[in-house]
Amino acid sequence: MQSQLHADELRAALKQLPPKVQQAIMKKAMRKALTPTRDTLRTAWRAAPYKGKPPHRQAIARMTNIDVRRKGAGYSAPIIGRVGVDYTGRKGMLQRVWHLLEAGFKRYHKGAKGAYQNYSAAGRDERQAYKAYLSAGRKEIMSFKGLSKQHYGAMLKELAADARKQYPGYVGERTSRAQARSRSISAKNSSMPGAWRSKAIGKAMLASAMQTLRREALAAAGKALKGGTP
């Protein structure tokens, strides 16, 4: 879930300040704006109604953090703020089950032959080439400015069709795996529905966070313009 702040009066105030001060103001305001969302997420995951012992939920809450940083080099680069579960650190950290609890998952029975089979060596090679072809094609398409969304969409669809024709080995294996998973759906399989807890909280608090960001940044900019420390 993403949002971008558009505030003409804030932009006008910041332009009167040195770039370094502008970024310091935005970083501080963004951390303050995201703190209530972080705290609400932590509380919700600690109290999440799952069976069994709570160490995974406690780890999710503990590792729900705010990350505010400059995206790119130089003081003209935008400030990006995130709040969510931190997956970095040593392998096997307990919070790394968050995406399974949040979005859910499907468990296939042991007889689901082919559902999780590995790609062949040729398939892996084609897969890399396929992804590289799509990436290069998308960059070229998006370099054309002024086209309608429909035009972009048509060009991307044509690109995908060309990629499927050029790399039939990988596409065939990918289709085979998907079909195997589909055939394996039976009473022996089980699904864990996603709670979508973080998404609901983020959606509910996004507007408030943006208002706080605007208010705090404007106040800090006004203070700095009067010679104070933002």
Indicate whether 116 belongs to any domain: no
* 42 and 97 share one domain: yes
* CA dihedral over 4, 10, 29, 210, signed as positive or negative: negative
Q: Do 20 and 68 sit in the same domain of this protein?
A: yes
> Is 129 in the same domain as 165?
yes
pLDDT at res. 2: 78
Strand spans (E) along the chain: 64-70, 79-85, 104-107, 190-193
Q: Please count the residues of the chain.
A: 230
Based on the domain organization, do 84 and 14 belong to the same domain? yes
Considering the domain boundaries, does residue 173 fall inside one? yes
Query: Would you state the pLDDT for residue 60?
Result: 95
Residue 114 lies in a domain: no
Model confidence over 53-103: pLDDT tens digits? 899 999 999 999 999 999 888 777 889 999 999 998 666 689 999 999 999
143: in domain: yes
Reported as a single tens digit per residue, the pLDDT across 110-128 is 555 555 667 888 888 999 9
Domain region containing 143 = 121-183
Per the structure, the count of domains in the chain is: 2
Q: Does any domain span residue 189?
A: no
For residues 194 and 99, the answer to whether their CB atoms sit within 8 Å is no
Residue 134 is assigned to a structural domain of this protein? yes
* pLDDT value at 180 more than 90: no
The two tokens of residue 171 are: 């596409």
pTM for the whole structure: 0.66
Same domain, 100 and 198: yes
Residue 2 lies in a domain: no
- Structure-derived torsion over alpha carbons of residues 127, 99, 79, 200, reported in degrees to the nearest 10: 130
14 and 76 share a domain?
A: yes
Q: pLDDT: is 1 or 146 the higher one?
A: 146
Confidence check: pLDDT of 202 > 60: yes
pLDDT average, residue stretch 143-160? 92
Q: What pLDDT is stored for residue 11 in this prediction?
A: 86
Among the ranges given (80-89, 98-107, 173-182, 201-210), the one the predictor scored with the smallest mean pLDDT: 173-182
Residue 44 and residue 94 in one domain: yes
Q: Which of 199, 2, 1, 202 is nearest to 102 (CA)?
A: 199
Domain match, 217 and 168 both: no
CA distance 157 to 154: 5
Q: Which two tokens stand for residue 175?
A: 């289709």
| Of 63, 32, 34, residue with least CA distance to 46 | 63
CA atoms of 9 and 219, how far apart (whole Å) = 11
Asked if 157 and 74 sit in the same domain, the reply is no
- Regarding whether 149 and 80 lie in a shared domain, the answer is no
Inside any domain, residue 111: no
Based on the domain organization, do 68 and 177 belong to the same domain?
A: no
Give yes or no: residues 171 and 208 share one domain.
no
Instruction: Give the Cα separation of 196 and 40 in Å (integer).
Output: 14
